[in-house]
Structure 1
Amino acid sequence: MKKLPLIFLSMLILIFITSNISANETVRLAIGDWAPYTSETDPDGKLLEEVVTEAFKAEGIDVEYAYYPWKRSYVNVEKGKYDGTFPWNKTEERENEFYFHKESLIKDPGVYFHLKSKDFDWNTIEDLKKYKVGVTIGYKQEETYKEHGIVADTVPDEQMNFKKMLVGRIDVYQTSKVVGYATINKLFPPEEAKLFTNHPKAVEESEYYILFSKKTPNGQHFADKFDSGLKKIKESGLYDKILVKYLGESH
Structure 2
Amino acid sequence: MKYLFTSIFLFLCWGNPPALADDDKNVFRLATGEYQPYTSEFLPHYGIDNRIISEAFGEEGIRVEFNFFPWTRALNTAKAGDVDGTLPWAKRKGREDFFHYSDPVIEVDREYFYYLKKSPFEWNPSVRNYEQLRGKTFAAIASANYGPKFQDAEANGTISVNRVQEEQQTLRMLLAGRIDIAIIKRRVAEFALNSFFSDQQVERIERRPESDDPPGYDYLLISKNAPNARYHLESFNRGLKSLRTSGRYDQLMLKFENGTFAELK
Instruction: Give the TM interval when normalised to the shorter protein.
Output: 0.7 to 0.9
Letter of the 1:29 partner, please give it. L
Asked whether the equivalents of residues 52 and 105 of structure 2 are also in contact (C-alpha less than 8 Å), the reply is no
Letter of the 1:140 partner, please give it. N
**2:154 corresponds to:** 146
Equivalent-residue separation in structure 2 for 1:42 and 1:170 (angstroms) = 29
Equivalent-residue separation in structure 1 for 2:46 and 2:156 (angstroms) = 34
**1:226 corresponds to:** 236
**1:112 corresponds to:** 113
Equivalent-residue separation in structure 1 for 2:233 and 2:136 (angstroms) = 40
Q: How far is the alpha carbon of 1:29 from its aligned partner?
A: 0.1
Asked whether the equivalents of residues 45 and 51 of structure 2 are also in contact (C-alpha less than 8 Å), the reply is no
- Greater helix proportion: 1
**1:157 corresponds to:** 166
1:172-202 Cα offsets, whole Å, 9 max, x none, are 1212211111122112123323433320453
Asked whether the equivalents of residues 25 and 228 of structure 2 are also in contact (C-alpha less than 8 Å), the reply is no
Please, which moves more after superposition, 23-32 or 218-227?
23-32
Between the two proteins, what is the percent identity of the paired residues?
A: 30
SS in 1 for 2:193: helix
**1:94 corresponds to:** 95
Equivalent-residue separation in structure 1 for 2:170 and 2:212 (angstroms) = 18
Q: How far is the alpha carbon of 1:210 from its aligned partner?
A: 0.9
Q: How far is the alpha carbon of 1:88 from its aligned partner?
A: 0.6
* Unaligned stretches of 5+ residues in structure 2: 1-23, 260-265
2:176 is the alignment partner of 1:167: yes
Equivalent-residue separation in structure 2 for 1:111 and 1:73 (angstroms) = 24
**1:14 corresponds to:** none
Q: How does 1:60-71 map to 2 (within 5 A)?
A: 60-71=61-72
**2:82 corresponds to:** 81
Q: How far is the alpha carbon of 1:224 from its aligned partner?
A: 1.6
Larger radius of gyration: 1
Q: How far is the alpha carbon of 1:245 from its aligned partner?
A: 1.8
Q: How does 1:171-250 map to 2 (within 5 A)?
A: 171-200=180-209, 202=211, 204=213, 205-248=215-258
Asked whether the equivalents of residues 48 and 256 of structure 2 are also in contact (C-alpha less than 8 Å), the reply is yes
SS in 1 for 2:94: helix
Equivalent-residue separation in structure 2 for 1:24 and 1:216 (angstroms) = 11
Q: How far is the alpha carbon of 1:27 from its aligned partner?
A: 0.5
Q: How far is the alpha carbon of 1:115 from its aligned partner?
A: 2.7
2:136 is the alignment partner of 1:131: yes
1:121/1:246 Cα in 2 relative to 1: closer, same or farther (>3 Å)? farther
Q: If the length of structure 2 is used for normalisation, what is the TM-score?
A: 0.78
Equivalent-residue separation in structure 2 for 1:92 and 1:163 (angstroms) = 30
1:78/1:203 Cα in 2 relative to 1: closer, same or farther (>3 Å)? farther
SS in 2 for 1:103: coil
User: What RMSD over aligned residues (CA atoms) do the two structures have, in Å?
Assistant: 2.3
Letter of the 2:183 partner, please give it. Q
Letter of the 2:232 partner, please give it. F
Asked whether the equivalents of residues 114 and 120 of structure 1 are also in contact (C-alpha less than 8 Å), the reply is no
Asked whether the equivalents of residues 36 and 44 of structure 1 are also in contact (C-alpha less than 8 Å), the reply is no
SS in 1 for 2:134: helix
Equivalent-residue separation in structure 1 for 2:184 and 2:25 (angstroms) = 36
Equivalent-residue separation in structure 2 for 1:101 and 1:25 (angstroms) = 17
Q: How far is the alpha carbon of 1:105 from its aligned partner?
A: 2.8
**2:52 corresponds to:** 51
Q: If the length of structure 1 is used for normalisation, what is the TM-score?
A: 0.82
Equivalent-residue separation in structure 2 for 1:72 and 1:34 (angstroms) = 14
Q: Report how many residues are paired.
A: 227
Please, which moves more after superposition, 117-126 or 198-207?
198-207
SS in 2 for 1:170: coil
- Moved runs in structure 1, 4+ residues, more than 4 A? none
